[in-house]
Amino acid sequence: MTEIEKEFEVEKFSIHYDAKKGSDLSKHKMNAYDLGMSIVEFAKMINRADDIINKERTLELEVTAPAKAGSLIVEFALIVKSGGALEVLKYLGLSASSAAVAMGTALGVARKLRDKKVIGVVREANSDTATIELDGEELKCDKTVAALVTDPVIRQAMNEVINQPLVNEDSPKFKIMSEGQEIFKVENEEIQEFTPLPKKSLSDEKVENITTNVLLTQVNFDASKGWKMFYDERELSVKMEDESFMARVRDSAKSFTRGDMFEVALSIITKTTARSQRTEYVITRVIRHRASSDRKII
């Protein structure tokens, strides 16, 4: 027993790659880059699931038998620093306790989702069940599993661990073993069912309309783009949609000074997907030029 095993509970499991007889995999060989990426992405999947389920680090993952020539069995030891670590294995589908997860673990549900875009996730009140809304269909699963399979980091990791190392192999096989028990296995076309989360999954758009003061720091009177403003203590790109204001400035004999303050109607558009969040700013109307009377444009 190691010093770590004396101090913490340790869960051991392994991932196995195989393919048609005569292939490199059947001879216990794999491209070093593919195998290295598989190990890295497996660790990312475990750590991200820990973040989602426990909101803190409850575990540490180690490779106990380094992947090397002559072996395609990669052995891991998960060091359990608190009980939440066991929940990570359970809901991902990496331990014997995973059989108790109603309606399937993350690995099982991800297979069903394949490359379908996720429209939304509805979590039922006072229930452990969630409904994943797809285009024209729904899939019910455990609410913790729903959080895992709609996370882009976890879905990308599943693809890198399961699909990518076997993508060009004939009769590919992938399985996970724990304490001599087969926990999970996929083969042949099933391998291709593990895809990254589609880019526009869980898309949402929020629009906030406000009236505020901004400093216009860059102008372009020939187009709505190419404008910048100082707002919220930052210089930001902004789209100018008040065409009458642009025309008035072009036709006015009065000077426009960079950094002048204007009262504007501003739309703040926040676009969110599972992969990213982006905010756009649009000036829909220029209300007032806050300058001396001899310089006022509007």
Residue 189: predicted pLDDT: 94
The CATH number that domain 205-290 falls under is 2.40.50
Distances (CA, A) of 222 to 216, 240, 243, 245: 15, 11, 10, 12
Provide the residue ranges of all domains of the chain, joining segments of one domain with +. Answer: 3-195, 205-290
Contact present, 219 and 227 (Cβ < 8 Å): yes
Tell me the C-alpha distance between 277 and 156, whole Å: 18
Tell me the C-alpha distance between 245 and 53, whole Å: 51
**What mean pLDDT comes out for the span 254-274?**
87
What's the CA angle centered on 217, arms 214 and 220, to 5 degrees? 110
Provide the pairing of β-strand 118-123 with 204-218: unpaired
pTM of the model: 0.74
Per residue in 251-262, pLDDT (tens digit) is: 775 667 788 899
**What mean pLDDT comes out for the span 31-43?**
92
Per residue in 104-158, pLDDT (tens digit) is: 999 999 999 999 999 999 987 889 999 999 988 999 999 999 999 999 999 999 9
